[in-house]
Structure 1
Amino acid sequence: MNGPVPLRTTDVARASGYSPQQVRDLERLGVIPPAARSANGYRAYNPTHVRALHAYRGLAGAVGPVAARQTLARLRTATLAEAASAITDVHVRLARERDEALRAQRALDAIRGEAGSAPGAGREGDAMTITELAGALGVRPSTLRFWEQEGLVRPERVTSLRARRYGPSAVGAARIVTALRGAGHGIPAVREIMASLDRLDGAEEARDILRRRLDRIAERTVALLRAGTDLAAVVTSARETADARGTSL
């Protein structure tokens, strides 16, 4: 009995929405498994390759093409536990970005509410070290130092060794900067926005950016959800292939 008819590069391109050259490039990059070769040397694909390309499209919409390529290549050789962990990590990353944008919104409201209050207002217990703040924001301490040099976040210096401590206002400002940078705004644009927060139009601009940031995170989350079935198919196919070869994934 004859097996399934192999798919040509053009067939896969038509079914996946990519061009034939993109299909070949994504195969070369490890996004999809290597195609079998027919007797005449042409590539022979199957539906698994189409599912992998659909998974890649959804994953790229969620985390970007570079991270999507790395994840798909990893899923093809991962154990079931490793594959589940890799996909969960993407969901966690998006959830963290959303939480940070929401915190930035609250910080923006707090900073506006504190306008005109005495410098240094806030509880001492709310202050954070540079290591604590960097960990809370998911950035490196060197990033906070760079933002300080650029005039974006101004910490309090409290020791002769110039150790940095960040009060509530500085923590809030750092959250806003993190969200703005995550939304793709360059340092000059962020500096202008942060400098304008004491103006109504500046605060509204920042709010609009944060709202768009949350909308974009929601779109990426939906893209990841849509890719879920295809990602599961990639993992299942990889395990079946490994079992057929007598290996254990």
Structure 2
Amino acid sequence: MDEQPSGPHRGPLRTVDVARESGYSLQQVRDLERLGVIPPAARSGNGYRSYAPVHVRALRAYRGLAVAVGPVEARRMLPELWTATLTEAASAVGALHVRLAREREEALRAQQALEAVRAEADTAGIERDGDAMTITELAGALGVRPSTLRFWEQEGLLAPERVTSLRARRYGPSDIGAARIVAALRSAGYGVPAVRELLGTLHRPAGLEETRRVLRARLDRIAVRTVALIRAGSDVAAVVTTGREPPTGTGPTDVV
């Protein structure tokens, strides 16, 4: 049983009230509670659910995190946050900000690499050994596994030089730039065939402009996700601190 008799009321919120204030349907509110995405509702003696404003904040937190990191990860993360300490919750949300910042930085570097495509012909053959990277170094710079770079090579997206008697891979500046573009396009959701097609047209005006458009759209999407995460962080803090003693610190607490 979910609903108390309708009509004007004060105090505890009904499922319908929470649904109206959060923008979710009645069934979605029940499902998200069952999954632990929002804290459990109180139950009256006759079995009716009784919610509080904190449940509305919890649903808003879920909406923001779902935009920022996807609904699957948001559903996994939130049940842990509701029982976490304030420090643990702040650390978890902070890690998401770091991830988005890294995605933005990589998209910006991909943009820079894209613009360097124009000058590639002028700088061909002038690459210095100090500018090159090993597969391990490049994988670390991109935040992917070396096996991912090998896969991209197998799919024709990258063509590093092979050096030494062990045929080790060597990525020069142009290879590094291509890898950054591939990483950004893959993160934007482009499949291998689409990435291969875009890379093949980079030296043509139409292909260059299309890839520019894709990378601009990726940066715009990261901005939307970042704003959603900022909003979600406020709601997460409200839920985590509800009913708890405020944290104590050793530093100054007053701002003059």
Question: What is the number of residues matched between the two proteins?
Answer: 236
Report the equivalent of 2:164: 159
Q: Which amino acid aligns with 1:159?
A: T
Q: Which amino acid aligns with 1:72?
A: L
Deviation at 1:78, TM superposition (A): 1.4
- Counterpart among 21, 26, 29 of residue 32 in structure 2: 26
- Counterpart among 61, 65, 72 of residue 67 in structure 2: 61
Could you say what secondary structure the match of 2:242 adopts?
Answer: helix
Q: Which amino acid aligns with 2:218?
A: R
TM-score, length basis structure 1 = 0.90
Q: Which amino acid aligns with 1:207?
A: R
The one-character-per-residue Cα deviations of 1:12-58 (angstroms, maximum 9, x if unpaired) are: 11111001111111112211111121111122211111110011111
Could you say what secondary structure the match of 1:222 adopts?
Answer: helix
| % identical equivalent positions | 75
Q: How does 1:164-243 map to 2 (within 5 A)?
A: 164-237=169-242, 239=244
Q: Which amino acid aligns with 1:70?
A: R
Q: Distance in 1 between matches of 2:61 and 2:228?
A: 10
Q: Distance in 2 between matches of 1:98 and 1:229?
A: 22
Report the equivalent of 1:244: none
Q: Distance in 2 between matches of 1:226 and 1:232?
A: 10
- Counterpart among 135, 153, 163 of residue 130 in structure 1: 135
- Counterpart among 141, 150, 174 of residue 155 in structure 2: 150
- Counterpart among 26, 36, 40 of residue 42 in structure 2: 36
**Structure 2, gaps ≥5 residues long:** 1-9, 246-256
Q: Distance in 2 between matches of 1:59 and 1:199?
A: 39
Q: Which amino acid aligns with 2:111?
A: Q
Are 1:49 and 2:59 an aligned pair?
no
**Structure 1, gaps ≥5 residues long:** 241-249
Q: Distance in 1 between matches of 2:29 and 2:244?
A: 23
TM-score, length basis structure 2 = 0.88
Could you say what secondary structure the match of 2:121 adopts?
Answer: coil
Q: Distance in 1 between matches of 2:41 and 2:168?
A: 57
Q: Distance in 1 between matches of 2:242 and 2:56?
A: 12
The one-character-per-residue Cα deviations of 1:55-88 (angstroms, maximum 9, x if unpaired) are: 1111111111112222222211212221111111
CA-based RMSD: 1.5
- Counterpart among 6, 9, 13 of residue 7 in structure 1: 13
Deviation at 1:148, TM superposition (A): 0.4
